[in-house]
């Protein structure tokens, strides 16, 4: 099952009954966390076994299903806490500060035509929340193949989880092989006819720049506010959230551009397996900074591909940046912008890597009906197709949308 969280702004202020519900819910979550810590349990069922009765007495008004989902939220906070403890990260007892509540799909109703949420507060008391619905939201509301999952209510917005069975990936008619780099995705499109082949690039040069700029800014903030650690921390956190937002947004745009191209060409997507543990030491900071968005980008691409039914093949990138796809020689070290081999082969370094990924995939048995046909030499002269560049940003999805993916 695939899940996508879609954010809706509220058309008007939250009614006071709903505000009280948010506060009750938060209280219930925090109490359940304490009860769970004492009894050393984390599952929703175990929590409700030990705490439901006393909760019912403390919150006689709250709709029973909301209490159960408070146990669920508390359970996941406890699980995260335990994971951090196991890793040896120092952490305080978890405490939910933000006003929020989660309702399971039987505990609310959504009028998909009108965009109105009917949320029960207690017996005989419901509130209606009118959502702001844009064209982007319509895509989800009107698609009847999507069923409704949980609803998360915050002070100014709700997040509705839409669910669907993972569609079966289509049978590919071509292959789009992409090498993932710090500032771009670079690759080749190969079909059953050598006239279909092309070199492609999706460019996101600004991501590394945004990261560096925010990194510098955070460092400067820390120095400037070194006498006031609390202010420094909160300013840094705000910086971090902003950075995260901007990069995330760009990665979604890149992924959308790549996937709509793959969909149009009926391509299978080849990506490299990005393995390796992220270094923790700050001396490797540059490497860490450059690894993070690539993985993030892969996550987004893979998730969106599963949602759209675009087949994705991951291959081991070993030697992909050092091998000659024509004669098979492996160069001692990476070179400049152009890959050059003694046999006379030369090609853009990144495109060359994507050819190697393609060959690895083919050697592992990837093929398409009709057979893949391509002439590597042609990639030396092909015109580059740009799938994405920052100038295209204007034609993007509206803000305030995000994607929480999980496969269940």
Q: Which stretches of the chain bind Zn ion, using CB under 5 A?
A: 324, 326-327, 329, 341, 343, 345
Find the shortest distance in angstroms from Cβ 344 to Zn ion.
7
Burial of 93 (0-12, 13-18, 19+ CB in 10 A): exposed
Find the shortest distance in angstroms from Cβ 184 to Zn ion.
24
Closer of 1 and 343 to Zn ion (Cβ)? 343
Closer of 185 and 341 to Zn ion (Cβ)? 341
- Determine the Cα–Cα distance for residues 40 and 43; give it in Å rounded to an integer: 10
- Determine the Cα–Cα distance for residues 149 and 138; give it in Å rounded to an integer: 17
Q: Which residues contact 141 (CB under 8 A, 6 or more apart)?
A: 112, 113, 115, 133
Find the shortest distance in angstroms from Cβ 382 to Zn ion.
19
Closer of 307 and 339 to Zn ion (Cβ)? 339
Find the shortest distance in angstroms from Cβ 141 to Zn ion.
55
Whole-Å CA distances, 46 to 39, 42, 79, 367: 9, 7, 13, 50
Find the shortest distance in angstroms from Cβ 334 to Zn ion.
15
Closer of 344 and 365 to Zn ion (Cβ)? 344
Find the shortest distance in angstroms from Cβ 329 to Zn ion.
5
- Determine the Cα–Cα distance for residues 244 and 238; give it in Å rounded to an integer: 10
Closer of 219 and 329 to Zn ion (Cβ)? 329
Greatest CA separation for the chain: 81
Closer of 343 and 386 to Zn ion (Cβ)? 343
Find the shortest distance in angstroms from Cβ 353 to Zn ion.
14
DSSP string, 286-348: HHHHHHHHHHHHHHHHHHHHHHHT--EEEE--TTTTTB-TTT--B-SS--SSEEE-TTS-EEE
Strands 267-272 and 312-315: parallel
Length of the chain: 408
Closer of 235 and 326 to Zn ion (Cβ)? 326
Structure tokens at 276: 């390796």
């Amino acid at each position: 099952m695939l899940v996508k969280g879609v954010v809706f702004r509220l058309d008007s202020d939250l009614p006071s009954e709903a505000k009280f519900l948010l506060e009750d819910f938060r209280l219930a979550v925090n109490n359940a966390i304490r009860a769970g810590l004492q009894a050393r349990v984390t599952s929703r069922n175990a929590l409700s076994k030990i705490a439901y009765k006393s909760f019912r007495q403390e919150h006689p008004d709250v709709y029973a299903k909301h209490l159960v989902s408070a146990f669920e939220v508390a359970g996941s906070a406890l699980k995260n806490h335990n994971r951090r403890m196991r890793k040896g990260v120092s952490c305080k007892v978890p405490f939910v500060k933000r006003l929020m509540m989660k309702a399971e799909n039987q505990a609310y109703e959504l009028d998909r035509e009108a965009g109105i949420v009917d949320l029960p507060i207690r017996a005989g008391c419901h509130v209606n929340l009118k959502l702001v619905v844009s064209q982007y939201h319509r895509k989800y509301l009107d698609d009847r193949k999507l069923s409704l999952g949980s609803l998360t209510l915050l002070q100014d917005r709700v997040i509705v989880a839409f669910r669907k069975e993972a569609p079966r990936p289509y049978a590919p008619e071509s292959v789009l092989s992409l090498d993932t780099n710090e500032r771009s995705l670079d690759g080749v499109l190969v079909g059953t006819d050598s006239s279909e082949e092309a070199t492609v690039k999706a460019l996101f040069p600004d991501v590394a720049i945004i990261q560096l700029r925010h990194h510098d800014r955070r460092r400067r903030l820390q120095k400037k506010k070194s006498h006031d650690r609390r202010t420094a921390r909160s300013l840094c956190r705000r910086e971090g959230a902003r950075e995260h937002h901007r990069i995330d947004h760009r990665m979604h745009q890149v992924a959308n551009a790549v996937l709509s191209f793959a969909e149009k060409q009926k391509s299978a997507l080849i990506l490299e397996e990005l393995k390796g543990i992220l270094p923790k030491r700050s001396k490797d900071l540059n490497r860490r900074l450059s690894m993070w968005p690539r993985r993030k980008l892969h996550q987004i691409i893979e998730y969106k591909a599963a949602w759209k039914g675009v087949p994705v093949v991951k291959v081991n990138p070993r030697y992909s940046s050092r091998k000659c796809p024509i004669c098979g020689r492996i160069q001692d070290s990476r070179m400049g912008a152009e890959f050059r081999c003694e046999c006379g082969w030369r090609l853009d370094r990144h495109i060359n890597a994507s050819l190697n990924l393609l060959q690895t995939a083919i050697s592992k048995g990837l093929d398409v009906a009709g057979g893949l046909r391509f002439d590597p030499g042609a990639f030396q002269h092909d015109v580059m197709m740009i799938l994405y560049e920052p100038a295209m940003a204007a034609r993007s999805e509206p803000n305030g949308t995000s994607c929480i993916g999980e496969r269940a």
